[in-house]
Amino acid sequence: MKKNDELYGLKDQETLDADPDEVVQDVLENACAKAGESFDAIADRITWPLRVFVYRRRQVGDADRLAQRVLECMLEELDCEYADPEGDATVPTSAMRSASLALANAVVADYVSWACEPTGEVIEYTRERARRECGE
C-alpha cells in the first residue's frame, strides 16, 4: 500500500479496490443467480453504464498541530511522574519543540492513510467494455 495509490469503487462502496476492473467483476459476480450463466444473462440484471469512481488517500493533518499535541502529552506524563506537585507545568524549550516537529514531519511523510476521498474522476464501463475487460 502506497501513499499515492489510486483506489476504485462504486459511489457507496465501503472497501475500495486497487483495480477498476475488480469493481466491475464484483458487480458481475453479485448479479449472478446461477453458476454457468452467460455474461449476457448476468449483464441483463445490471444498469449500464457502471460508474466506477476514482479515489485517493486523504492527506494526513497538520504536522505542527501533531507536534504540539505530542509534546504536550509527553510533558504532562513527565510532570505527573517527576515534577513538583505544587509547581507549574513544564514549558517546552526550543529544542523540545524542534525535536517534536521533526518527529511529526517524519511520521506525516511516511504515514499511509486508510481514509480516502474522491478525485472527481469517474470511469464508465459500458456493457461492451465490461464484456471485453471483465467478462467471458
pLDDT at 32 over 80: no
Q: What's the number of domains the chain is made of?
A: 2
| Together in a domain, 135 and 100 | no
Give kind and range of the element (H or E) at residue 56.
Answer: strand 50-57
pLDDT value of residue 33: 61
- Alpha helices (H) along the chain: 20-31, 39-43, 63-82, 94-110, 127-134
Its domain, for residue 102, covers 61-110
pLDDT value of residue 28: 86
| Together in a domain, 32 and 53 | yes
pTM of model > 0.85? no
Query: Which of 20, 10, 17, 88 lies closest to 51, judged by CA?
Result: 10
pLDDT value of residue 58: 93
| Together in a domain, 16 and 48 | yes
